[in-house]
Amino acid sequence: MEVISIIVLFASFFTLLLMKVPVAYSIGISTTLSLLLNIDKMPGLTTIAQRMTTGIDSFALLAIPFFVLAGEIMKQGGIANRLINFAKSLVASLPGGLAYVNVLASMLFGAISGSAVAAASAIGSIMTDRMEKEGYPRALSASVNITSSTTGLLIPPSNILIVYALASGGTASVAALFIAGYLPGILLGFAIMGYIAFIAISKGYSKGKRSTLKEVWTYFRKAFFSLLLLVVVVGGIVAGIFTATEASVIAVLYAAILSLIYGDMKVKDFPSILLTSGKTTSVVMFLICTSMAMSWLFSFEGIPEMISTFLLESLNNKFAIFLAINIILLIIGTFMDMTPAVLIFTPIFLPVVTTLGMHPVHFGIVIVLNLCIGICTPPVGTLLFVGSGVANVSVTKVIKSLLPFLAIMIAVLMLISFIPEISMFLPNLFEL
């Protein structure tokens, strides 16, 4: 019966996805169908409802709606322009300077807002036209914007790292994950810049005007309080002054006050911002509800133990197992959203990698980077569609330009997977 339940679970899930049923509904329906093969209707439906409810009964998850709200306020509050101008003053004079500006601004805005989609939308809408005027193809601009926006999911504060902390069952703290994401996020950003340098030099893209020290200082001063939010939020969490949830509330207050002071946002704008944030949060929370129910069903059916035993017995080399898990996660990321993927597959793979000596915090960075690549690729590809839409370029044109960037992201993934010090240096330094 267990084998039949598993077959029904996966067959119904993939069938629903192919029918373009939203991911959250696909997860919930397939989980319910599978469970009803083993349990009578009323107890089964009650169990699913209970698991969905208890799945979001977590204080740590309160951080997500507040970070979503903070990101939405920053997107509309003029912060993106200040970060772009500061980044431009630093690197615009280099070959491919405007593309570097795109990467740096995405890293900064993504880190501050905690949202890759917000970074792609806010930065891409400004930079694509600027880059086209300097001779950059719009498809290339979109590719730079799409891939660099993923750095904000590694550099804290990051909502997906909070979700992973929940899925890890407390073996990885939010503070440790936040501090662990810095070096991998920066490494990914610099790797993308390296490829941009190659393109810029080989195709002779023009350099921008070199900024004087006075201009750099002026733009830094204007962006200072935006950048300070990172120090306040992450520094407060690492120092133990407040929790991630409390930090998210502080981020909302800080961003709101700053945006009102800048004058780019008015009090009358808050209702629409709250509505947009509420819609985003409801989607995320419903995904978490159904994903936690499916994760429980996996445990009920003994799937994690089956996969763990299969991998450990069939692949006796830990590097081969790590590589196999990476390949599986890369495939999963192409058709499943990050939140359900983290919640469903963390309980499956975490016991395997920890058995082989990988730290739960290290694996958190690995799984998130895997799924970052997934949201840049079809058929789901949230960032791919957002970045293409913002740049007003067809997805097919963007994909051709995107492929080398995806190869670079995979190369960085391999480095981070097999060199744990990249992720664990800062957590070990701060004894987290």
Per-residue pLDDT tens over the stretch 331-375: 988 888 888 889 889 999 999 999 999 999 999 999 999 999 999
Query: Would you state the pLDDT for residue 2?
Result: 66
CA distance 27 to 130: 41
Exposure string of 276-309, with b = 16+ CB inside 10 Å and e = fewer, is ebeebbebbbbbbbbbbbbbbbbebbebbeebbe
**Are the C-beta atoms of 303 and 309 separated by less than 8 Å?**
no
**Are the C-beta atoms of 259 and 79 separated by less than 8 Å?**
yes
- Whether the pTM exceeds 0.85: the reply is yes
**Are the C-beta atoms of 226 and 258 separated by less than 8 Å?**
yes
DSSP state of 268: G
CA distance 198 to 205: 11
- Tokens 């701060």, residue located: 430
Query: Would you state the pLDDT for residue 212?
Result: 86
Query: Would you state the pLDDT for residue 81?
Result: 78
Query: Would you state the pLDDT for residue 425?
Result: 96
- Sorted by sequence, the CB contacts under 8 Å of residue 268 that are 6+ apart come out as none
- Tokens 């060199």, residue located: 419
Per-residue pLDDT tens over the stretch 415-432: 999 999 999 999 999 888
Query: Would you state the pLDDT for residue 179?
Result: 93
**Are the C-beta atoms of 409 and 370 separated by less than 8 Å?**
no
Mean pLDDT for the chain overall: 87
Per-residue pLDDT tens over the stretch 112-157: 777 788 788 878 888 888 888 888 899 999 999 999 999 989 998 8
Which of 84-88, 160-164, 284-288 reaches the highest mean pLDDT? 160-164
Percentage of residues in the chain having pLDDT higher than 70 = 99
**Are the C-beta atoms of 416 and 365 separated by less than 8 Å?**
yes
Per-residue pLDDT tens over the stretch 207-256: 767 788 898 999 999 889 888 888 888 888 878 888 888 888 998 998 89
Torsion sign over Cα 63, 65, 70, 72: positive
413's enclosing H/E stretch is helix 395-418
Query: Does position 385 have pLDDT exceeding 60, yes or no?
Result: yes
Q: Which two tokens stand for residue 134?
A: 């300097």
Output the CA torsion 270→273→275→276 (10° steps). Answer: 180
Which of 3-7, 116-120, 389-393 reaches the highest mean pLDDT? 389-393
Measured CA angle at 23 (ends 22, 29), to 5 deg: 90
Least confidently predicted of 29-38, 109-118, 240-249, 321-330 = 109-118
Per-residue pLDDT tens over the stretch 258-275: 888 888 788 899 999 999
**Are the C-beta atoms of 292 and 61 separated by less than 8 Å?**
no
Residue 320 CA neighbour count, 13 Å, CB half: 8
CA distance 57 to 365: 24
Query: Does position 206 have pLDDT exceeding 70, yes or no?
Result: no
Looking at per-residue confidence, does 95 or 405 come out higher? 405
CA distance 317 to 383: 35
Confidence of residue 313 (pLDDT cuts 50, 70, 90): confident
393's enclosing H/E stretch is none
The mean pLDDT value for 106-117 works out to 78
The span from the first CA to the last CA of the chain, in angstroms, equals: 44
DSSP H helical ranges for 115-265: 116-133, 138-149, 159-167, 174-180, 182-203, 213-238, 244-262
